[in-house]
Amino acid sequence: MKTLLSLLALLTVVTAQAKLNVVATTADLGALARAIGGDKIAITSMARPTEDSHFVDARPSFIRLLNQADVLIEGGAELEAGWLAPLLNNARNPRIQSDAIGHILALQGIRLLEVPTGPLDRSQGDVHARGNPHFLMDPANARIVAAHIADSFCKIDAASCETYRANLKQFTDALDARLLAWEKALAPFRGQHAVSYHNSWPYFSDRFGIQVDVFLEPKPGIPPTPAHLANVIKQMKEQKIRVIFVEPSLNRRTAETVARATGATLVDVSLFPGGIKGTEGDYLKLFDAITDALARALSAPAK
Amino acid sequence: MKLSKALGWSSALCLAALSLQAQETNEAEAIRRQLREANEAFQKAMENYRSATESLNKRIEAVEKKQGIVVTSAPPVYVVEGAARTNAAPTSLLPKPWSPSDPVRIGTQQSYIGISLDALMAAGYSTAKDIEALEPGGHDPKQRGFTVQNLELTLDGKVDPYFRGQANIILQITPEGETAIEVEEAFLETMSLPWNLQVKAGQYFTEFGRLNPQHPHAWDFVDQPLVNGRFLGADGLRNPGARVSWLVPTPFYSELFLGLQNSQGETAFSFRDTHEDGFLFGRPAADTRVKSFSDMIFAPRYAASFDLADGHTVVMGASAVLGPNASGKDNDTQIYGLDLFYKWKPHHQSKGFPFVTWQTEAMWRRYEAAAFAGDSDHPALPSETLRDWGIYSQLSYGFRRGWVGSLRGDYVTGRSAALDPDPDRDTRWRISPALTYYPSEFSKIRLQYNYDDRDRIGVDHSIWIQFEFLLGAHSAHKF
């Protein structure tokens, strides 16, 4: 009986604090929600920023997390396809089901790149049928997503709407100012090429003009073969490509081997705030870190 | 004169001050202009995008009209609760002004039904004479050479705002070469019950332990654990029924299941299954009828899960199934089980690798066997209680991308009874190392060796190769 009472007490404490309980599938969405929600929300991101966000385990603790959420923010472009659905089915929470106002699909209003036009089958590897899901690598898209989140927060929690609007303005102003600085930092290198393991960077390429268009994996989701890597090395030498992007979850050893053969520099990047040290929970800091590291690597004299 | 002089001086001073600041002001102005231009460019791009979307929408409408498809032009918008009902008919077919946070329909997102076909096949060799007796699972390899273990057609989707539906239709090719069809599962699950409740109803796998509700392609080995085959049956414990589950409001995940299912049929092995030859444990299995709820299978389960440290997760469960058996009018069976699953997956996992999993289940069975007077082929047997227990424990290590090494140990035994020997209750154990390679998430190749030791029969060696492919919607993995 005593334990039951203390359990009830715990429940009332949980409901007493009126913070909006927000769950984001990935850390980039979490960071945007934090920027808009400020101290009016409690935010939890499901995928760790350093792990492969396609292959997150649908841990039972997530069921409980989603069960208590007021808002769920997902990218919606198949990144979460392998793990979110069974959790949501079991969450027993009508506030965040796909038809509810508390279910935010971040991709809405975004122009997705690389939407396949021709016939699609899996011999082409694991191609995303809806388009490339890493749209937040263009800060201009973060502007759209942030506005979307603020709108939704206002509908769900009208009492704090003014705060959300003010936070949105503050974030957008800061983003606009920083975007100019980032573009300026990378402007001298427009048109240069870079290598990454997986095709996660088309939005970044589009925005900053650094063409990340050579990949260590031969097809999306298919592991590198020696023949393919030999081709990559040849191409890098021909095009004088000098940087290789390294994401925290992807194989560093392959990148190192290629770097040794070509004299290229490894640049530590991440799709998610927290994937690089010092960028935890802060979308703007992530781009500060990426553009800074990239500009340094590209301006260093060739090896 | 004085006034004009003063004015002249002051304006001169002002000019001087301004010219001093001019350079800085110009720079700030330039940056401001740049910012303004960038903003304007952004707005313009959004405007372009908006008009492009509008014209595309109009074209879609035009095309659909031509094809005679009736559509409302309203995109799937967020509906504030209550608004849908009061505002059923769209007042205007004109698209409202677009804003970035408005939803946009992308591609053809018709996911009314998810369809997939999973094929599981095995080939191999065993020293055992009767492989069907050696491998107790219904989807285990059945013969030397090739076995089509399981062709599984899965259909699932949201039925309406209230239910989710799923059906798993199984095709198998028997050792005699005939194609057999089974409805393995066909159930609906509620999505919007209050108080953290959920109801599942239809034909479904009993939520007993960890392995029983899993489909064979999700297993880490070619064959079923021995204890599952012996206690829950070749095809696992599943029957038409209904269960309610409650997600307990604890700080950690914990869930309570209460199920009620039919107790007859070949998928209720330890209960009112009449068995192929009409006998179990030396007694005839009678076809009795259900008179009340107490003649059904009652299946309670409690499961809890903890994230121990970041990257380490454990799930524990306790289950029971209680119900009548086929040996007599008032004879019952009770099966109890404990299960443990542990997984480690590091922070920097890529494609789900590396990982370590450890899974163990122990089960106890109490079977009240009725007295049997005997006949020309069968000896007479007294009324007695048959007590059995069994365990399996398996460890899997995904040591590099696509590669998993596994090891499983099996042990089952029964306390001696009047019928002796009884191959369905005699002690046996098995060790199975396996190596699996996943070329992608949609295919796998597995090599497994079994060392079998059966009391009164002896040692057998088997080697199996298994191949799987999956076509269609890739259903997300449960933990």
Strands A211-215 and A193-196: parallel
Inter-chain residue contact B350 with A52, CB threshold 8 Å:
yes
The predicted structure's pLDDT at residue A116: 82
How near does any CA of chain A get to the CA of B397, in Å? Answer: 16
Stretch 187-216 of chain A: residues touching chain B, C-beta under 8 Å: none
Q: Of A150-154, B109-113, B359-363, B455-459, where does mean pLDDT reach its minimum?
A: B109-113
pLDDT band at A300 (very low <50, low <70, confident <90, very high): confident
Q: Which residue of B has its CA nearest to A49?
A: B347
Report the amino acid identity of residue A207: R
The predicted structure's pLDDT at residue B7: 53
Q: Which residue of B has its CA nearest to A148?
A: B101
pLDDT band at B11 (very low <50, low <70, confident <90, very high): low
Write the residue in A81, A94, A97 that is nearest to B476 by C-beta. A81
The predicted structure's pLDDT at residue A303: 60
Structure tokens, A197? 């393991």
The predicted structure's pLDDT at residue B108: 47
Structure tokens, B240? 């038409």
Higher-confidence position of A76 and B37: A76
- Each residue's pLDDT tens digit, B173-226: 888 889 999 999 999 999 889 999 999 999 999 999 999 999 999 999 999 999
Inter-chain residue contact B196 with A92, CB threshold 8 Å:
yes
Inter-chain residue contact A90 with B247, CB threshold 8 Å:
yes
Predicted confidence (pLDDT) at residue B450 exceeds the cutoff of 60: yes
Inter-chain residue contact B442 with A122, CB threshold 8 Å:
yes
Inter-chain residue contact A109 with B35, CB threshold 8 Å:
no
Measured distance CA(B338)–CA(B318) in Å, rounded: 5
The predicted structure's pLDDT at residue B258: 97
Q: Which residue of A has its CA nearest to B165?
A: A89
Higher-confidence position of B68 and A231: A231
The predicted structure's pLDDT at residue B89: 30
Inter-chain residue contact A48 with B310, CB threshold 8 Å:
yes
Inter-chain residue contact A50 with B478, CB threshold 8 Å:
no
- Each residue's pLDDT tens digit, A95-119: 999 889 999 999 988 889 988 877 7
| Helix, strand, or coil (residue A18) | coil
- Each residue's pLDDT tens digit, A137-192: 999 999 999 999 999 999 999 999 999 999 999 999 999 999 999 999 999 999 99
How many other β-carbons are positioned within 10 Å of the β-carbon of residue A15?
9
So where are chain A's domains? 11-179, 187-299
Inter-chain residue contact A223 with B402, CB threshold 8 Å:
yes
C-alpha closest to that of A69 among A21, A104, A24: A21
The predicted structure's pLDDT at residue B81: 32
Measured distance CA(B263)–CA(B274) in Å, rounded: 11
pLDDT band at B45 (very low <50, low <70, confident <90, very high): confident
Instruction: Check: CB of residue B336 under 8 Å from CB of residue B319.
Output: yes
Structure tokens, B267? 């998928």
The predicted structure's pLDDT at residue B67: 54
Inter-chain residue contact B305 with A115, CB threshold 8 Å:
no
How near does any CA of chain A get to the CA of B192, in Å? Answer: 6
Q: Which alpha helices (DSSP H) does B174-330 contain, by range?
A: 226-227
> Percentage of chain A surpassing pLDDT 90?
73
Residue A9 touches partner B, C-beta closer than 8 Å: no
Predicted confidence (pLDDT) at residue B341 exceeds the cutoff of 80: yes
Write the residue in A10, A130, A249 that is nearest to B350 by C-beta. A249
Q: Residue B181 pairs with which residues in a beta bridge?
A: B171
Average pLDDT, chain A: 89
C-alpha closest to that of B211 among B434, B392, B448: B392
Inter-chain residue contact A108 with B305, CB threshold 8 Å:
no
The predicted structure's pLDDT at residue B77: 33
- Each residue's pLDDT tens digit, A258-280: 999 999 999 999 999 999 999 99
The predicted structure's pLDDT at residue B105: 45
Residue A161 touches partner B, C-beta closer than 8 Å: no
Instruction: Check: CB of residue B386 under 8 Å from CB of residue B412.
Output: no
Inter-chain residue contact B348 with A152, CB threshold 8 Å:
no
Inter-chain residue contact B313 with A57, CB threshold 8 Å:
yes
Q: Which residue of A has its CA nearest to B470?
A: A122
CATH superfamily of A187-299: Nitrogenase molybdenum iron protein domain (3.40.50.1980)
Q: Which alpha helices (DSSP H) does B157-299 contain, by range?
A: 226-227
Average pLDDT, chain B: 83
Token pair 């109009």 in the structure block, residue: B58
Inter-chain residue contact A89 with B42, CB threshold 8 Å:
no
The predicted structure's pLDDT at residue A3: 54
> Percentage of chain B surpassing pLDDT 90?
54
Domain A11-179: give its CATH architecture: 3-Layer(aba) Sandwich (3.40)
| Helix, strand, or coil (residue B387) | strand
Measured distance CA(B142)–CA(B146) in Å, rounded: 8
- Each residue's pLDDT tens digit, A1-55: 455 555 555 544 444 457 999 999 999 999 999 999 999 999 999 999 999 888 9
Structure tokens, B185? 């599962």
Measured distance CA(A291)–CA(A270) in Å, rounded: 11
Mean of pLDDT values over B436-460 = 94
Inter-chain residue contact A51 with B249, CB threshold 8 Å:
no
Mutate to test the interface with B, among A65, A72, A90 (most CBs of B within 10 A): A90
C-alpha closest to that of A271 among A296, A246, A238, A234: A246
- Each residue's pLDDT tens digit, B83-137: 333 333 333 333 444 455 544 444 445 567 888 999 999 999 999 988 988 998 9
The predicted structure's pLDDT at residue B61: 63
Inter-chain residue contact A51 with B347, CB threshold 8 Å:
yes
Q: Which residue of B has its CA nearest to A183?
A: B38
The predicted structure's pLDDT at residue B2: 52
Write the residue in A67, A180, A222 that is nearest to B196 by C-beta. A67
- Which chain B residues contact residue A83 at CB under 8 A? 476-477
Inter-chain residue contact A10 with B251, CB threshold 8 Å:
yes
- Which chain A residues contact residue B303 at CB under 8 A? 60
Write the residue in A50, A99, A250 that is nearest to B161 by C-beta. A99
Residues 6+ apart with CB under 8 A from B361: B209, B210, B211, B225, B227, B228, B337, B338, B339, B340, B391, B392
The predicted structure's pLDDT at residue A253: 87
The predicted structure's pLDDT at residue A78: 84
Topology agreement, domain A11-179 and domain A187-299: yes
Structure tokens, B475? 């259903």
Q: How many beta-carbon pairs under 8 angstroms link A with B? A: 155
Mutate to test the interface with B, among A56, A122, A130, A206 (most CBs of B within 10 A): A122
- Each residue's pLDDT tens digit, B66-94: 554 433 333 333 333 333 333 333 333 33
How near does any CA of chain A get to the CA of B214, in Å? Answer: 14
Measured distance CA(B433)–CA(B394) in Å, rounded: 9
Report the amino acid identity of residue B187: F
Inter-chain residue contact B104 with A90, CB threshold 8 Å:
no
Write the residue in B161, B197, B476 that is nearest to A83 by C-beta. B476
Instruction: Check: CB of residue A56 under 8 Å from CB of residue B478.
Output: no
Inter-chain residue contact A55 with B49, CB threshold 8 Å:
no
Stretch 258-297 of chain A: residues touching chain B, C-beta under 8 Å: none
How near does any CA of chain A get to the CA of B78, in Å? Answer: 6
**Degrees to nearest 5, angle at CA B191 with B189 and B192:** 135
Predicted confidence (pLDDT) at residue B16 exceeds the cutoff of 80: no
Residues 6+ apart with CB under 8 A from A118: none
Q: Which residue of A has its CA nearest to B402?
A: A223
Exposed/middle/buried for A135, CB within 10 Å: 0-12, 13-18, 19+?
A: buried
- Each residue's pLDDT tens digit, B216-253: 999 999 999 999 999 999 999 999 999 999 999 999 99
Q: Residue B391 pairs with which residues in a beta bridge?
A: B362, B411
- Which chain B residues contact residue A86 at CB under 8 A? 476-478
Predicted confidence (pLDDT) at residue B370 exceeds the cutoff of 60: yes
